[in-house]
Structures are given as structure tokens and as C-alpha cells.
Amino acid sequence: MTPRMRDLYPPVRAARSGTLRVDATHTLYWEEAGRPDGTPAVYLHGGPGAGVAPDHRRFFDPDAYRIVLFDQRGAGRSTPLGETRANTTAHLVADIERLRAHLGIERWLVFGGSWGATLALAYAQAHPDRVRALVVRGIFLGRAHEIDWFLNGIRMVFPEVWQRFADFIPAAERGDLLTAYHRRLMDPDPSVHMPAARAWAGYEAACSTLLPSPDTVAAFTRDRLALALARLEAHYFANGAFLDERQLLDGMAAIRDLPGAIVQGRYDMVCPMATAHQLHRAWPAASFTVVPDAGHSAMEPGTRRALVAATDGFRYVP
């Protein structure tokens, strides 16, 4: 185990995996690890479009948890890659519930970061009786000003990174970067959509860590991840994340007593912590850990430790 990852549980192999066809277009990839009779937990990846990776299993004690990971519509090993048809928040919430039933799980802990936190909250509000507890990180609630911050506000902290992101688009179109990128990302020609995808994904990766991380940028800009991430994020952002402006905050009233943990990097520039603070005010039952030396990425050391502490605390939640 490398020193930088020693605060996660040791690597664990998937014990079984499979696919689940959810409609005429989409088939989801899923996998399980850990203890078959353990406390069920589902990991919801970010993006949308980021997909799951083996290290995501390591946030959970494999001797205590039945760990479920899956790639959301259009992401990772789910097919078709980057597909935006029949791909909305409501579809993803329904997919989580379908996967739960498919695996024969009654109730589970739901873990999600960034977009995964958005989806975790939406799922819990739709199916509160199926959720034992929530662990959410890097809070994003899909509101218009949060989307605008990602597209434009980050330049206040990362001006040179934002400039590269903006300069990819011809000057005449830079007044609406989302529309300009969306048009290119949806173009069927790889010579059009792939450069746009790499520019978008590289921008996000460069702003995701407190300290520069060339490894993060390299991972995000690989073709498959870059395409799914950029195309699906642009699709969701162009549609207001398929949520009403205050839907998730207002919906907390129905689950305000649900056990949970909020983990937030103080210097998160992708999803600034004002949103996490607002969520905690609406959800006082949740613990709130502000990591003083972290940005947005779940893989920064302080955030890793806080997330493992949170899942450890819910290992035996009824």
C-alpha cells in the first residue's frame, strides 16, 4: 500500500459483478465487495459521468460492510458510454432503487460525493425507508448559482486554469461557455467532441485539489473518462441538474432526523463549502466535518480520513 493511501482500508477485490438492464437504452455495471452478510452500503460516484474505481471500495471496512458500487447511466462500464438519452436525475434515482431490489437488499447506507452527494440526497428524499444513513462529501445541490460558479466563478481563484478553459472556445462564443461546450460535446464527430471533453475534464481536475495534482489531471483527461464526465456534466448543467432550484434543501424537512455525516474540504473550489453549511443547517442530525487542508477531491488525505471515520461510525447502524 502506498503511503498516500494508507488511511484507506487495504485494497479489496470485487467478489462478484454483473450488469442490470434498466431500459431499452441503458445497461448498468455493478459490483460487490466485502462481507456478503455485512451492513449494505452503496457508493454513488460523482460527475455525473465519473464512474467507479477500485479505490472507492476502500472507504468501507470490508469485514463489516457489503460494499456495492455501480456506474451510473452513461458512465464507466455501463453502456452506452456518454449517452444522454433517458438520462436524468429521476432516472438515476430509479436505477438505485432498482439495483437495491435486484440485489435483495432491504436498506443500505448511501455514500456519495459531489454529484454523488446530490444523488444521495435525492434518493433519500424519494426513498427514505430504504436508507439507514447517509455519508455525503463535497456538497452540490444543483442550483443555478452553483453551476455558474463552476463555469465562471472559479476564475477568481484559478484564473489561469479558467482562461485555458475559456480560450478553448472561440471569442465570439465565450459569453456562454456552457452552450458552447455543450454543442461541441454533443457533436457525434470525435474530432469535435474529444478535444472539448479533454478541455472540460482537465479544467475540473486542475481545480479539484488544494495542491496541484498532475495525477488527477492525467486520470480525468483519459478519453473514456473525459468524454463521459464532460458530456454528462454539460447535459445535466444545461438542464439545471433536472432539479427544482430549492428541491433538495426544501426536501430535507422530510429526512431531517436521518443519521448522516457531511464531510467538506474548507478550500473546495468546485463545490464551495457555503453549500455544505446550508445543508447542515437544514439537517442538524448529521455530523459536519470541515477538513481544514483539503479542496474538492475525496482522495486528499484529510478528506479520506474523515470519510473512513464516517463509514466506521455507521458500520453497525440498524
- 57-82 exposure pattern, b = at least 16 Cβ within 10 A, e = fewer: bbbbbbebbbbbbbbbbbbbbbbebb
Let me know if 296 is a catalytic residue: yes
Let me know if 268 is a catalytic residue: yes
Task: Identify whether the C-beta of residue 29 lies closer than 8 Å to the C-beta of residue 43.
Answer: no
Task: Identify whether the C-beta of residue 122 lies closer than 8 Å to the C-beta of residue 93.
Answer: yes
Out of 114, 208, 213, 297, the active site residue is 114
Q: Residue 72 gets which letter from DSSP?
A: P
Out of 56, 78, 268, 297, the active site residue is 268
The set of residues, in sequence order, having a beta carbon less than 8 Å from that of 128 and lying 6+ positions away, is 254, 255, 258
Residue 279 C-beta-side C-alpha neighbours within 13 Å: 33
Let me know if 223 is a catalytic residue: no
Task: Identify whether the C-beta of residue 32 lies closer than 8 Å to the C-beta of residue 6.
Answer: no
Out of 56, 182, 296, 297, the active site residue is 296
The separation between CA 80 and the C-alpha centre of its own chain, rounded to angstroms, equals 19
Catalytic positions, please?
A: 114, 268, 296
